[in-house]
């Protein structure tokens, strides 16, 4: 079963940087829309940044100018570069992708397991 595997989370001081990565656990046939979401304790899961199937970018207002989403199509890998981190960025970050595991499958939405990002103060 295909899974999205995330890496790069951890503990960082305010003003520091982290880079999150997300990629399928095995080879897949096709992938298009991808994005990052986050959920802080007691709060809803919200969009952080996304890349649409046509390459369009979308950022939440709270991270514009600090975070950068990118995609390596050759590696089917999604990245989130997070700079100037603030304590309020602390959350579990989730990768989301619309992918087709093989030619015989439908496109489906897949979610990563989530990775903890903690910005200490």
What confidence score (pLDDT) does residue 33 get?
85
Phi and psi (nearest 5°) for 88?
-70, -10
What confidence score (pLDDT) does residue 32 get?
85
* Under 8 Å between Cβ of 79 and 67: no
Parts of the chain with a pLDDT under 70: none
pLDDT one-digit tens code per residue, 14-35: 999 999 999 999 989 988 889 9
- Residue 63: HSE in the Cβ half-sphere, 13 Å Cα cutoff: 25
What confidence score (pLDDT) does residue 53 get?
85
What confidence score (pLDDT) does residue 54 get?
87
As a whole number of angstroms, the distance between CA 71 and CA 66 comes to 17
Whether the CA torsion 89, 86, 65, 71 is positive or negative: it is: negative
């Amino acid at each position: 079963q295909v899974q999205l595997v995330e890496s790069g989370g951890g503990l960082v001081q305010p003003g520091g940087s982290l880079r999150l990565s997300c990629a399928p656990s095995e080879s897949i046939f096709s992938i298009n829309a991808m994005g990052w979401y986050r959920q802080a304790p007691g709060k809803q899961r919200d969009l952080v940044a996304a890349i649409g199937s046509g390459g369009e970018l979308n950022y939440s207002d709270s991270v514009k100018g600090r975070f950068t989403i990118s995609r390596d199509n050759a590696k089917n890998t999604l990245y989130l570069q997070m700079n100037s981190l603030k304590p309020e960025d602390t959350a579990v970050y989730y990768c989301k992708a619309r992918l087709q595991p093989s030619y015989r499958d439908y496109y489906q939405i897949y979610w990563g397991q989530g990775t903890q990002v903690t910005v200490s103060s």
